[in-house]
Amino acid sequence: MQRIGVIGAGAWGTALAMAAARAGRQVVLQAREPEVVDSITQHGENSLFLPGIPLDPAIRATADLAEAAAVDAVLLVTPAQHLRAACRSLKPLLSPTVPVVICAKGIEIDTGDLMSEAAKAELGNQPLAVLSGPTFAAEVAKGLPTAVTLAIEDADLGRQLLAALGGRTFRPYLSDDLIGAQVGGAVKNVLAIACGIVHGRALGDNARAALITRGLAEIARLGVTLGARPETLMGLSGLGDLTLTCSSLQSRNMSLGAALGQGRRLEEVLGERRSVAEGVYTARAVTKLAAAKGVDMPLCQAVDALLNHGADLEAMIDGLMARPFKPEGL
């Protein structure tokens, strides 16, 4: 696999393009925004989404989806709620053997589908993989050490993708648990908003540690119900991603929560940003999915109530702390 197409030139797509280029691949990075294509082509930098980081000159930016699809493997790095539409556009452009690696983290609001389910509905028998794990885009783009999960059912194809994307500072680990690799990456964004609120309200490190731990229990309950393996949820795409995203204001979701905890309005904070905080959308989606599956996820439900249903922040915190005492394993 020498030619890699990256669909979506936000911060994460740009960072993955850098990782693939460092691995020696020929990379085509597709962007919807003409100004992003111009910035990369003329200045060697994605000044809109990843400013200040020089890009490998071998990365070719384009607005042409067909050009980015005429490759040996595609990395799909669109926002989660737009992934289905992107797959629909890609379908007629792809060779049937080209693997599509899903790099978006989320759950569809309208359907409750994981990203792989939405992609399969549009792409049919196209080979699918999921790449997820504890990753800040800027650190990957700079070549700082990073490890991720690459989940795919076809082990031989998975090993080819490992060889194509892995390098000295970007280390993928192979899995065949696509569901587990997605649940952790989606739900952790919701929990990161909650941890940001803890930070913004100065509720302390004890509260943040408790929230991470009880949040992991919610991830595990939902994941196992959907068919994930518990060990996947304790790995890079579960515990690893949760720990990173809930521990640093580099996280878009945690920084959003911190602003809310300081009393700012959601619309105001979102209006200042170009990048997507996926947890805002996933909070609604995961709450609906959990209700449909009969899974208890009080932290995610509380974040959804705050973001999408006008709940009072203090009442939300008081409600969580007033829940009945119970054994830890429940």
**Rounded (to 5) percent helix, strand, coil in the chain:** 55, 15, 35
Torsion (CA) 142, 164, 244, 120 in degrees, nearest 10: 130
Paired with 180 in beta bridges are none
For residues 78 and 62, give the distance between their C-alpha atoms in angstroms, rounded to a whole number. Answer: 15
Q: Is 105 a catalytic residue?
A: no
Q: Identify the active-site residue in 91, 188, 288, 293.
A: 188
| Residue-wise DSSP of 233-281 | HTSIIIIIHHHHHTS-TTSHHHHHHHHHHTT--HHHHHHT-SS--HHHH
Q: Treating both helix axes as pointing N-terminal to C-terminal, what angle do 205-226 and 278-293 enclose, rounded to 10 degrees?
A: 50
Cβ count near 155 (within 10 Å): 10
Which residue numbers are catalytic?
A: 188
